[in-house]
Amino acid sequence: MNRRGRILATARLELAELARSRLPVFSFALPAAISALLIVIGMRESNVLGFTGMGRVLLSLCHVLILILPLTALLGAGTTLNRARDDGLLELMFSLPLDRGEYYVAITATRYLALTAPIVVAIGALGLLGRAVFGQPIPLEFLARTTAIAASLTWSFAAIGLAISTITFNQAKSLIYLLSTWVLAVAVVDFGMIGLMLQWRIDPRAVFILACLNPVQCARMALLSAAEPSLGVLGPVGFYLANHVGTNALFALGIAQPILIGLIAWTIGLRAFLRGDLV
């Protein structure tokens, strides 16, 4: 069997394991349930920051995705190798004519597919449901941009999770590191940036540069610019971004920066897996 055949055979085994673990079901059920809740909220007559109906749903979706996608990706990929070590799967797999790089590529592809495909389906279902409920046209451009950003953000944190799973042998420690990564990326950075802005009134350009260091912030700016191009919800920083950076540049940044962070993390994880101990 050639290299490609070995990778595909390993990927099929991993997909069967994922089906038993119900990860794809969870990856679809969580955003689908939240989307349905947003539809119900959007049907109310009250508005939030001037947004009603489908516009309110899309704006809320932007804020929800940046919270759940990193956590889902980290937990979905971050315990993969730890569980394989504890179950003795790694020893079994490498008793076969399969090298470490092929195995790492196979589990990366299957985990990413299992995490991304349900989200894509849920976003498409949101557009159809929104049209049925509100009678408004399906915002195809926004849904396409949201899908691309969600895929890049999922890749970033799935790769980070795999790297943590590779470097950390203890499953309990790995879980702590995964949750700490999520808190740092989603919560601490937000609070820290807000504190800096309130305390020292930092120039919007400096805030933008700081935000670009975090894939979650890049995805947030790209999603909000797709839902509301004027970015009025971000205040002075949003005014600066809308007039000096532009929607297309923010979208490109929201795609490229998470992909780059993911590639760096994946490379670190692969090097550690190739050179480190298996058990």
Question: What separation in angstroms does the CA of 52 have from each of 122, 183, 186?
Answer: 21, 30, 26
Give the 3-state secondary structure of the chain. Answer: CCHHHHHHHHHHHHHHHHHHHCHHHHHHHHHHHHHHHHHHHHCCCCCECCECHHHHHHHHHHHHHHHHHHHHHHHHHCCHHHHHHHHCHHHHHCCCCCCHHHHHHHHHHHHHHHHHHHHHHHHHHHHHHHHHHHCCCCCHHHHHHHHHHHHHHHHHHHHHHHHHHHHCCCHHHHHHHHHHHHHHHHHHHHHHHHHHHHHHCCCHHHHHHHHHCCHHHHHHHHHHHHHCCCCHHHHHHHHHHHHHHCHHHHHHHHHHHHHHHHHHHHHHHHHHHHHCCCC
8 A C-beta contact, residue 214 and residue 189: yes
pLDDT digits (tens, 9 = 90+) for 19-42: 676 666 666 666 666 666 665 555
Could you give the angle at the alpha carbon of 27 between the alpha carbons of 247 and 114, nearest 5°? Answer: 90
**pLDDT, mean of residues 247-258:** 84
Alpha carbon distance 199, 43 (integer Å): 38
pLDDT digits (tens, 9 = 90+) for 156-202: 999 999 999 888 888 888 889 998 898 888 876 565 665 565 566 66
pLDDT surpassing 50 at residue 46: no
pLDDT digits (tens, 9 = 90+) for 260-271: 999 999 999 999
pTM above 0.85, yes or no: no
Best CA proximity match to 159, nearest among 18, 265, 71, 68 = 265
Alpha carbon distance 203, 208 (integer Å): 9
CA atoms within 13 A on the CB side of 54: 17
CA torsion 224-108-266-123 (nearest 10°) is: 0
Q: What pLDDT does 266 receive?
A: 94
Give the domain ranges of the chain.
Answer: 3-275
Which two structure tokens, joined as six digits, stand for 189? 């950075």
Question: What separation in angstroms does the CA of 58 have from each of 48, 95, 124, 149, 222?
Answer: 12, 50, 12, 14, 13
Q: CB atoms < 10 A from the CB of 108, how many?
A: 22
pLDDT averaged over every residue in the chain: 76
